[in-house]
Amino acid sequence: MAEVEELVAPCGLYCGACPLYKAQTDRALAEKLAPRLGLPVEACACLGCRGQKGRVRVMGEQICETYDCCVNEKGLDFCYQCPDFPCSKLAPCADRAAEIPHNTKIYNLLLIQKNGVDSLAEVADNLWRQYFRGKKIRAGAEPRL
């Protein structure tokens, strides 16, 4: 699997745009995140979903149900490759929606399916900012980020 693909979780989230992933190499960012998350600075870094085999520390100690289903049970790289796609594991959620962009999964997976993993990597930072600023992009308009 290519380097970019390693940063895209099976569910379509792009770990490379996540502040916890970026905090691996940015101590100031880790120090900023620590009090928000109630974690020591050293714990405010993540290798990404695939890098941690579905056990993202800030999401809990158990393996992610979606990762387990896609990778471990079905042997797939991405959820869109499953005959059951989309399933309830990818459904939008309100729980922690202000903190985690889980509601972008289907969009991200369809973008990957249509244009490849690199297409998500190219726009991921802008999508992340757009999600957390609550800005939608009109058809044919560039995002104002």
Q: Which residue type occupies 135?
A: K
Full DSSP string of 106-129: HHHHHHHHHH-HHHHHHHHHHHHH
pLDDT, tens digit (0-9, with 9 covering 90-100), for 60-94: 778 989 999 999 999 999 999 999 998 888 777 76
Domain ranges of the chain: 3-131
Q: Locate 22 and state its tokens.
A: 């970026």
Q: Locate 49 and state its tokens.
A: 């979903």
pLDDT, tens digit (0-9, with 9 covering 90-100), for 6-24: 889 999 988 888 888 999 8
Geometric angle at alpha carbon 64, from 100 and 116, rounded to 5°:
70
pLDDT, tens digit (0-9, with 9 covering 90-100), for 84-132: 998 888 777 766 656 666 677 888 888 888 888 887 877 777 777 676 6
For the chain, the helix, strand and coil percentages under 3-state DSSP, each to the nearest 5: 50, 0, 50
- pLDDT score, position 79: 94
What is the sign, positive or negative, of the torsion defined by CA atoms of 100, 106, 107, 113? positive
